[in-house]
Every structure is written in C-alpha cells, then in structure tokens.
Amino acid sequence: MQLEKTLETLAQDAVRAATGLDVPPQLRPTADPAHGDYQVNAALSLAKELKKNPREIAGTIAEELRRVPAFCRVEVAGPGFVNLTLERAWLAEQLRRDVLDLEHDGIPQLSSKERIVVDFSSPNIAKQMHVGHLRSTILGDALIRILRALGHEVTGVNHIGDWGTQYGLLLTGMREFGDAAALSESPIAELERIYKAASQRAKEDEAFAERARAELAALQAGNEENLALWRRFVDTTRAELDRVYARLGVTFDSWRGESAYNDDLPGVVERAIGSGLAREDQGAIGVFWPEIEGAPDRLKKQAEPFLIRKKDGAFLYATTDLAALFYRDSVLGADEILYVVDARQANHFEQLFALGALLGVRAKPHHISFGTILDENGKPLKTRDGVAVTLSSLLDEAVARARSRIEEGIAEGKLRLDPSAIDDVAEAVGIGAVKYADLRQNRRSDYQFDWDKMVSFQGNAGPYLQYAYARVAAIFDKAGETIREPNHELDLGEEAAFELAKTLARFGEAVEAAGRTHQPHLLTDHLFALAKAFMSFYEACPILKAEGALQKSRLTLAALTARQLERGLGLLGIRAPARM
Ligand code: ARG
C-alpha cells in the first residue's frame, strides 16, 4: 500500500472541508513518537493567506480529521500543528490487502500506463566497457524492472556504438596487423589493441592513413568484404558483451545500435535544414542556437552549434541520436524515452531534446543522468596501471571479496551454508553488492567506491539485505511454510509490530516514487528501513516460540517482510538466495 499517499489524500480532504482551499496538507512523520505518528502542518502557512490565527485553523482541520477512521487521536499542538495517531486496527486492515495481493505485493498498478523506451548500457565496439557503462547498465536495468512492475510497457534498448569513422582504422589495422585468433578469443581487447596501434600508425604514416580513409569510404558505400569484416567485429564483441550481461542478469529487448540508423542520416539532416532550424556554415551543417526562435533560454546563449554534419560530409553522434529519437517517437510510439547516460553528456542531450521538440517529436525524452564513480582519493576509478577498470575485472574482484566474507561468516558460525552452495551465493552476493552500492546512491552525485562497505553484512549494503532476507526465509523453512502462505489477521498491539507494519505499508509508494522520479535509491532506502524494522521486531517478538493468533499475526508480518525484500531486491536486479 501507499501509506503516506493515502494519509495525504485524507488530510487534503480534511483541509479542504475545513478551509475551502485545495492545498497540500504538509503531512510529515512526527519527530517524537509521544506526539503521534504524523502531523499536518498546513494551518501555519494558510494562516497568512486567510488572515486568521493558525491555531484556530488547525482546530477546524482537526475537527474534520477526527471523523477519519484512520486516526484514533487528533490533537492541535504548538503554534498550529495537528498531531495524528494512527488507528492500529485501520492500519492492520489496510495492510491485509497487501498480504492478500500475491501478484503485486502492494505495488500500485498505474491507471495511466505509458510506453517507455529505456536507452541504457550502450557501450562502444572496440572499447572496453568501463565502470561508467556499469552505472548505466545497473541503473537502466533497475528502472526497467521498476517501471514494468508499475504496469508500464517498457522496451530496453542497447544503443550500441557500432558505427563511425573509427572503422576505417579498424578494417585496415585488422588486415595489416590483426590477430584473427585473438579476435575470436577476446574481441574487445584485440579491437582495442588494433585501434590504438592503427591510430598511432595513421599519425606517422600518411599512406596508411590514406588506405584507412579509402576502406572507410568503401564500407560506407556498402563494400561486401568490408561489411563482412565489420559484422565480425560487431558479432564477436556482442558475444563477449553477452557474457558480462548474463553475469549481471541484464537483458535487452533490442540491440538497435548506431549502425541501424545509417540510412536515415541524410534524411535527418535534410529535415533539420528544411524546417529552417539547421543551416550551413563553412561547409558544415548545424543548429545555431542564438538564431533559433523558441530555443530554451540557456541554449539561446550558447555559441557552439549543434553539429549534425561535418564539412567532409561525415555524420556525427548527434545525427544518429536525432535519427534514433525520430524512430522511437514515430515507429516505436514511445510516450517517454529515458537516456541513462553519465552527466558529462548533459549538454548533448539538452540540445538533442530541444531540437527534437522543435521538429515536432511528441515523445517526452529524459536524460537519466548520473555521476562518476571515484576511488578512495576522490579521483575517477582507475586500476593501478592507470587504465579505466574493466567491468569483468571489477565483478571478479567483488565476487572474490564476497566469498572471503562468506567464508569468514561461516567460520564464525554466523552464516550457515552448504559448501556446494558457496560459489553460487558468492556470485549473488558479490554482484548484488556492486549493484546495490550503485543504486543506493542518489544517481546524480559522484560516489566513492568502498570495497569494505560494499561487501558488508552490516549497514546499508546489498549483503545486509540479502542476509536479512535469508534470515526471514529460514523462519519459514522451520515453520514448513512458504513466504506466500501466511495471510492471517494482523494484531499490531505490540510496539515493534506496529513500527514494522508502518514501514511495510510504505512499499507501494517507495516503488511508485522510484519509478516516477527515476531514482532507485528511494527503493533501497525503503528496503534498508524495512530490514532494520524487521530485525528490531524479531528481537522483541519471537515468532516460532509464540502461540495462537499472536504467532499467526507475527508470521504474517514476517512473510510480508520476506516478500517485499525478495521482490524489492528483484526490482533492483539483485538475487536473494534463500539460504546463507
Ligand atoms: N555509446 C555512448 C558512450 O559510450 C553512449 C550512448 C548513449 N545513448 C545515446 N542514445 N546517445 O558514450
């Protein structure tokens, strides 16, 4: 359920009935439990508007709220707060709907479903995927899962960088000093090697550079042999990427990358010129923002144009993105398009979206921007030899560290795990830890990579939540029930049970807010709060030792906790092993 959203609606109705004004009730959790569970603060700001005493207004709002069955105590306090104490029987009844909702576990199903395209991961051929692509992959995957759970129709696209001027160098380099075996074995490393060597060579050897330009022109003109070799680059790279994605548990609905838009590019440039938005300057074509009527203010002041064709006739990253935007809008019929790309590309997307809007694109694009991953010194994360950390090496290290934590836990008697399960659980915990460390951050900020915190079984970390889940699951193992069976009446008389129930009742709005604002950390915040509330509950209210209706109620609260942890982790793309 969506506890705060429900209470907010009730409070807004009360404020309207009391004052005739439809304004946000300013509902907040109380800081001190002695004052109840929530407070409504609207009277203070309304006092100015209505030129009345705030306590008087609070009094009339309180009168309305006293008629609402959700509250057992309503009191005016201080200069004009209305303090609310939840009626536990009401909360129990509301939460029971989530208990019975085996299909969605209380995640609201939106009535306004949208068609959403999510452009994420999108690495480049012939370059190692680096940690920047890791954030895009993890964030994009979580957003897709969350948006689907809310009922949206989502298409996940890997807009892979598989076309561009570098292919002249790659084709020539491959033919002259490429290693075919290495290309099959580890294509990305080999292509990266060829690319580096070829660009170096092109600088020193004009004849080589000339051959590369000729091969590029032949490729662009559709030369069969060059196309076949280019296909091989793409396919081998794709196979290698697939292994990383499989390990991450990430899938795509489409791999429609840059090359797929190649034929559209001349038309896209024509369309921009035809509409009067783009023009020629020294042989190149671009949009010159200060000249554009209806351009956003910030861009109006931007001197650099948005280039869509170079003076040698070559198209750019921007041209392809414009073609993809048209395609997603008109062919895929997207209502919204999410571009999960790091913050450094903010200006590119700002220009792309502005131009798209001026050209009549109806779909609403959003740049789902994110910060950089920093090392312990606050510098962008690199390995010792100074190159960006590759994704696979990072995942290997995470799994190795998770494994040693697990072995420690077993030696200390804290974890119980069959030796045959260690490999699988270490993989789930290691990969889950990397994902969680990323998702728990406000995506817009840079964050510091901290191995110790990341693989910790304590605090706001993936392993802690997986461990919490396994602990609840173990109760059901002992009780001989699954976590989806208990659906008894809830008794929230005990303080710890009431606290747990209040947290459980916020799952729906946590998922809804994470999806609406594209911020998965709103969901990790909920899961962390839930795991903590459960641990306190479990200490105060033993389950298997209890009896009768009380045991059934406690068991039901534990079951809903397990279901939310399992589903919540699932929405983040994190596995929840049942035993550890
Ligand atoms: N390939 C690009 C890069 O690695 C990211 C592409 C993002 N998506 C897009 N439609 N521009 O920087």
**Ligand 1 contact via 256 beta carbon (within 6 Å):** no
Quote the ligand 1 centre to 286 CA distance (angstroms).
Answer: 20
> Using alpha carbons only, what angle is made at residue 121 by residues 116 and 122, rounded to the nearest 5 degrees?
95
Residue nearest to atom 10 of ligand 1 (CA): 321
Residue nearest to atom 4 of ligand 1 (CA): 123
Mean pLDDT of 262-286: 97
Query: What letters, b where the CB count within 10 A reaches 16 and e where it falls short, cover 99-124?
Result: bebeeebbbbeeeeebbbbbbbbbbb
pLDDT score recorded for residue 376: 82
Of the chain, the percentage scoring pLDDT greater than 70 comes to 99
Quote the ligand 1 centre to 122 CA distance (angstroms).
Answer: 5
pLDDT score recorded for residue 388: 59
Instruction: Output 273 or 380, whichever has higher pLDDT.
Output: 273
Quote the ligand 1 centre to 433 CA distance (angstroms).
Answer: 25
Query: What Å distances lie between residue 223 and 162, 209, 214, 215, 217, CA to CA?
Result: 17, 19, 11, 9, 9
Question: Cα-flanking dihedrals φ and ψ of residue 378, to 5°?
Answer: 80, 10
Beta bridge partners of 336: 116, 364
Beta bridge partners of 84: 38, 74
pLDDT score recorded for residue 449: 86
| Atom nearest to 324 CA in ligand 1 | 10
| CA neighbor of 440 nearest in space, from 520, 504, 511 | 520
Quote the ligand 1 centre to 130 CA distance (angstroms).
Answer: 13
| CA–CA gap between residue 336 and residue 329 (Å, rounded) | 8
pLDDT score recorded for residue 385: 53
Of the chain, the percentage scoring pLDDT greater than 90 comes to 89
| CA–CA gap between residue 532 and residue 157 (Å, rounded) | 36
Mean pLDDT of 237-249: 94
pLDDT score recorded for residue 380: 79
| CA–CA gap between residue 229 and residue 215 (Å, rounded) | 11
**Ligand 1 contact via 341 beta carbon (within 6 Å):** yes
Q: Which residue has the tokens 């110790």?
A: 452
Query: What Å distances lie between residue 217 and 135, 176, 257, 460, CA to CA?
Result: 35, 18, 20, 53
Quote the ligand 1 centre to 160 CA distance (angstroms).
Answer: 7
Residue nearest to atom 11 of ligand 1 (CA): 321
Mean pLDDT of 246-255: 97
DSSP E strands, 109-250: 115-119, 153-157
Quote the ligand 1 centre to 251 CA distance (angstroms).
Answer: 17
Candidate CATH numbers 3.40.1410.10, 3.90.1150.10, 3.40.640.10, 3.30.1360.70; the one for domain 3-86: 3.30.1360.70
Instruction: With a cut of 80, say whether residue 381 has pLDDT above it.
Output: no
| CA–CA gap between residue 140 and residue 61 (Å, rounded) | 43
**Ligand 1 contact via 119 beta carbon (within 6 Å):** yes
Quote the ligand 1 centre to 85 CA distance (angstroms).
Answer: 50
Q: What is the average pLDDT value for the chain, to the nearest integer?
A: 95
pLDDT score recorded for residue 224: 97
| CA neighbor of 557 nearest in space, from 536, 580, 579, 574 | 536
pLDDT score recorded for residue 365: 98
Say whether domain 391-571 belongs to CATH 1.25.40.10. Answer: no
pLDDT score recorded for residue 377: 85
The helices-and-strands tally (H runs, E runs) of the chain is: 22, 13
Mean pLDDT of 501-507: 98
Helices 548-571, 462-479: axis angle to 10 degrees equals 140
pLDDT score recorded for residue 35: 94
| CA–CA gap between residue 476 and residue 485 (Å, rounded) | 10
Q: Which residues contact 304 (CB under 8 A, 6 or more apart)?
A: none
Q: How is residue 38 written in tokens? A: 């929530």
* Ligand 1 binding pocket mutation candidate from 127, 136, 159 (most atoms within 8 A of CB): 159
| Atom nearest to 160 CA in ligand 1 | 1
**Ligand 1 contact via 321 beta carbon (within 6 Å):** yes
| Atom nearest to 317 CA in ligand 1 | 11
**Ligand 1 contact via 121 beta carbon (within 6 Å):** no
pLDDT score recorded for residue 99: 97
Quote the ligand 1 centre to 351 CA distance (angstroms).
Answer: 15
Instruction: With a cut of 60, say whether residue 384 has pLDDT above it.
Output: no
pLDDT score recorded for residue 220: 87
Q: Which residue has the tokens 């990430």?
A: 250
Domain boundaries, the chain: 3-86, 391-571
- Render pLDDT for 86-140 as a digit per residue (tens, 0 to 9): 999 999 999 999 999 999 999 999 998 999 999 999 999 988 787 778 999 999 9
pLDDT score recorded for residue 382: 67
What confidence category does residue 387 fall into, taking pLDDT thresholds of 50, 70 and 90? low
CB-based contact 116:374 (threshold 8 Å): no
**Ligand 1 contact via 318 beta carbon (within 6 Å):** no
User: Any idea what DSSP says for residue 505?
Assistant: T
Instruction: With a cut of 70, say whether residue 530 has pLDDT above it.
Output: yes
Mean pLDDT of 491-495: 97
Q: Which residue has the tokens 């461990």?
A: 467
**Ligand 1 contact via 124 beta carbon (within 6 Å):** yes
DSSP codes, 322-388? HHHHHIIIIIS--SEEEEEEEGGGHHHHHHHHHHHHHTT--SEEEEEEE--EE-TTSSBPB-TTSSB
Residue nearest to atom 12 of ligand 1 (CA): 123
CB-based contact 163:170 (threshold 8 Å): no
Quote the ligand 1 centre to 159 CA distance (angstroms).
Answer: 7
| CA–CA gap between residue 538 and residue 39 (Å, rounded) | 28
| Atom nearest to 133 CA in ligand 1 | 4
Query: What letters, b where the CB count within 10 A reaches 16 and e where it falls short, cover 156-168?
Result: bbbbbbbbbebbb
> What stretch of H or E contains 72?
strand 71-77
Q: Which residues contact 56 (CB under 8 A, 6 or more apart)?
A: none
- Render pLDDT for 425-447 as a digit per residue (tens, 0 to 9): 999 999 999 999 999 999 999 98
Instruction: With a cut of 70, say whether residue 544 has pLDDT above it.
Output: yes
Q: Which residue has the tokens 């606050």?
A: 378
User: Any idea what DSSP says for residue 556?
Assistant: H
**Ligand 1 contact via 159 beta carbon (within 6 Å):** yes
Mean pLDDT of 331-354: 97
